[in-house]
Amino acid sequence: MAAPIYATPLERAWRTAYLGFCGLVFFFLIAPILVIIPLSFNAEAYFTFTDRMLRLDPAGFSLRWYDTLLTMGMTDSAAPRDRAWWADVWANAAWVNAAKNSMIIGFFATILATG
C-alpha cells in the first residue's frame, strides 16, 4: 500500500523507515525458525548442517529426534508400536503429561477468567 498522495516527504521517509524496521523485526523472528526446522531432521548427533544434508542426500536426514521426543519418559520405548505402546505413551511420556497438565490448567483458567 503506497503512501497517500498528500503525504509530505518527511512522512514518506518515516513510512519507509517504519516498513524497514517491521521487515527487520519479521526477519529477526522468522530466520531462526527457518534454520532450526531443517536441523531438527539431522541424522547426526550434533546440531549442525552436514555435507549430506546440504547435498539433500536422504541418508543425512532422520526422524530420530522426533522419536526421542515422543518416547521420552516411557517404560519401554523400544517396544513395537501397538496398542500397549500407545497406552504407555499416554501414561508415561513426558510430553503427554505436560500436554495434559496444560489442558487442565487452561480449562480452569478459562473457567476462572470467564466465570
Enumerate the domain spans of the chain. Answer: 7-62, 74-115
- Burial tier of 93 (Cβ tally within 10 Å: 0-12, 13-18, 19+): buried
C-alpha cell at 14: 518515516
The predicted structure's pLDDT at residue 25 = 98
Q: How far apart are CA 48 and CA 51, in angstroms?
A: 10
Q: Give residue 20's pLDDT.
A: 97
DSSP 9: H
Q: How far is CA 8 from the centre of its chain?
A: 43
Q: 531443517: which residue's cell?
A: 38
If pLDDT is split at 50, 70 and 90, which confidence band does 109 have? Answer: very high
* Identity of the amino acid at 77: S
For residues 30 and 80, give the distance between their C-alpha atoms in angstroms, rounded to a whole number: 38
pLDDT at 1 over 80: no
Q: Are 89 and 96 in contact (CB under 8 A)?
A: yes
Residue 21 has pLDDT above 90, yes or no: yes
**Per-residue model confidence (pLDDT) at position 73:** 84
pTM of the entire structure? 0.61
Mean per-residue pLDDT over the chain, rounded: 90
